[in-house]
Amino acid sequence: MNNNKRLMSVFATLGLMLSALIAPGMANAQLAGHNVILVHGLVSDDLIKAPTREELLTRRKMSTFWQSRAEGYFNWSAADRLEGGIAEFVFEQAKRYSAEGLCTNGCVLVTHSTGDLVSRYFLAHQEAWLTSAGYAPLNIIATIDFAGAGGGTDLADIAVGAANSDYVPLPMKLAAGAVLGMDLDITDYKDLGVVLDLTTSGARNHANWPNSIPRLRFSVSGADGANAVTKPFIRGADDTVVPAHSSCGASAPDAIQSCSSNIAYDGKRTWQFGPRGLMPNHFPVLMASDYDHFTLVADQHKGNATYVLNNFSAGLNVDFATNTRTVTRRWWQVWKETGTWQYVAGSDSTSFSSLIYQALND
């Protein structure tokens, strides 16, 4: 009997040890040895009904692919303003992570869409906020920004213009409202919450001074299903929600067609209207033409990816294997597009997010 009890105790202990070793929070959560904190994008339902504090603390809005690789979350409500409730709630979560020592060995922020703007505001102020409250600032070594909206979006400009106005054309209202998940025939600007901070001029005026945290940018230009209705109302290339000037990290809100002046979103080496310059410490890394605003953070393959900047170190080591394809034609093959395309190796079968995780985790 005693021997049986001892055996059961040993097996139970081994089981607990094994569970700890294979738990997602232990085995897969780190990226290049650093804990990951996720910062989600705009949740349109918040604009209809503001979430409670408890709902926000348990929110899991990033894709399951990234959730399984995260140790923390900076959650926030789209019903709030950036400099008000959003900053306060992110600060509250940051204090807990500081006390726990989550970022003692460095953390990587993985952001999507408006999470880019939320992160920029936090990174610009966190040292002063946390130090004054008696906490150590979080050691953030880099951010991975998917479809970053830190440079604003035309959809927010339309939404703000539509409030209390009959001069915004109905198709524009419907397109912007469809993505924002709300009726833009509103009578109170306050109903727009963080959308007021996402206008092109507004977003670029928030915490626009340089900081030392590298921002690694990942931009796409595809359109999937009904979301394509927004494309005519966004300047330059876009992913159906965010324009390229924002997701690439361009220093000016120009109607650019690519994150590079000599590489297209589909990887073709050809002249493009690219950024005149980049925001401080912003590095456009990968682009893709077949992913849209929502699919790029999912573990779902949509097509090839190309690179803008590669083989460099900015908080994380960026080193993607690459290849090229050159197409020529006979004189009679007038339909055939010629040129040279550059690709990230493996992107023909691996999802955008998985491709990035694998490379940066080496």
pLDDT of amino acid 220: 98
pLDDT tens column, 252-276: 999 999 999 999 999 999 999 999 9
pLDDT of amino acid 271: 98
User: Domains in the chain and their CATH numbers?
Assistant: 26-360 (3.40.50)
Q: Which amino acid is at 155?
A: L
Give the model's confidence band at 164: pLDDT under 50 very low, under 70 low, under 90 confident, else very high: low
Given a cut of 80, whether residue 170 has pLDDT beyond it is no
Which of 26-30, 124-128, 207-211 shows the lowest mean pLDDT across its residues?
26-30
pLDDT tens column, 57-101: 999 999 999 999 999 999 999 999 999 999 999 999 999 999 999
Cα–Cα nearest to 218, from 156, 309, 151: 309
Q: Where are the alpha helices (DSSP H) in the chain?
A: 2-22, 24-27, 53-57, 64-67, 87-100, 115-132, 154-162, 170-180, 200-204, 244-247, 352-360
pLDDT of amino acid 226: 58
Calpha distance 176→198 (Å, rounded): 13
Tell me which residue has tokens 């926030």.
Answer: 76
pLDDT of amino acid 174: 67
Given a cut of 60, whether residue 3 has pLDDT beyond it is no
With b for 16 or more beta-carbon neighbours within 10 A and e for fewer, the 13-23 pattern comes to eeeeeeeeeee
Beta-carbon contacts of 131 under 8 Å, excluding residues fewer than 6 positions away, are 137
Cα–Cα nearest to 282, from 246, 243, 242: 246
pLDDT of amino acid 313: 96
Distance of CA 222 to the CA centre of its chain: 15
Average pLDDT of the chain is: 88
The predicted model gives 341-353 an average pLDDT of 98
Calpha distance 337→158 (Å, rounded): 37
pLDDT of amino acid 334: 75
pLDDT of amino acid 20: 35
pLDDT tens column, 175-210: 677 666 666 665 555 678 999 999 999 999 999 887
Phi, psi of 246 (to 5 degrees): -85, -50
pLDDT of amino acid 173: 65
